[in-house]
Amino acid sequence: MRRATRWSIVIATFGACIFSGFIQIRERAIEKEPVPSELFDVIQAGILGLRAQHYQQVYRQASSRYQDRLDFEHFIETARADCVALRQANRWEFGVPKNDGQDIVVPVYFFLQSSEVLPALFTLVREDRAWKIEHVHLPVRTVQNKAIGGIRL
């Protein structure tokens, strides 16, 4: 093998490595921390869909793992039973999103007509370059018509 051929193979190998390094850096930069407003829009669309009883739309916004766990009929039953407080809320506010590995957890506070505040945790996962709702954790409401205790500033 001639010397020029060897050098061209070495240079091509180094060129391919450098090129793939740039591609990897670019991909990491694209998948950095999400913009909070993007996460809030996904949650807002889910809440508005539940309030309007557009269950098909909300089910499509759920992650594929969630859709594997629940079929559509069971989703409707769960949404009607567990999300009554979400439909009764006058307004809601978003907390600071927290990165939990590949998932993002967003606290949402629902303000009910009875001056009760209901906290919820929405877990979002990235699928096909879009955020999808993976799980919604609503606490069990044992005491009705009670505001959350604590110091108010």
Domain ranges of the chain: 34-137
Lowest average pLDDT, out of 1-15, 76-90, 117-131, goes to 76-90
Mean pLDDT of 97-105: 86
β-partners of residue 99 are: 104
**Using an 8 Å Cβ cutoff, are 108 and 120 in contact?**
yes
**Torsions phi, psi of 12, nearest 5?**
-65, -40
For the whole prediction, is pTM greater than 0.75? no
* Residue at 42: amino acid letter: V
The C-alpha atoms of residue 117 and residue 138 are separated, in whole angstroms, by 12
Give the per-residue pLDDT at 153: 44
Contacts with 85 (C-beta within 8 Å, 6 or more apart), sequence order: 110, 112, 118, 138, 141
**Using an 8 Å Cβ cutoff, are 58 and 46 in contact?**
yes
Give the per-residue pLDDT at 144: 53
Give the per-residue pLDDT at 149: 57
Tell me: the pLDDT tens digits for 27-75? 766 666 778 888 999 999 998 998 888 888 888 888 888 888 888 888 8
More confident residue, 23 or 32: 23
Q: Confirm or reject CATH 3.20.20.10 for domain 34-137, answering yes or no.
A: no
Tell me: the pLDDT tens digits for 110-151? 888 888 888 999 999 988 888 999 988 887 664 555 555 555
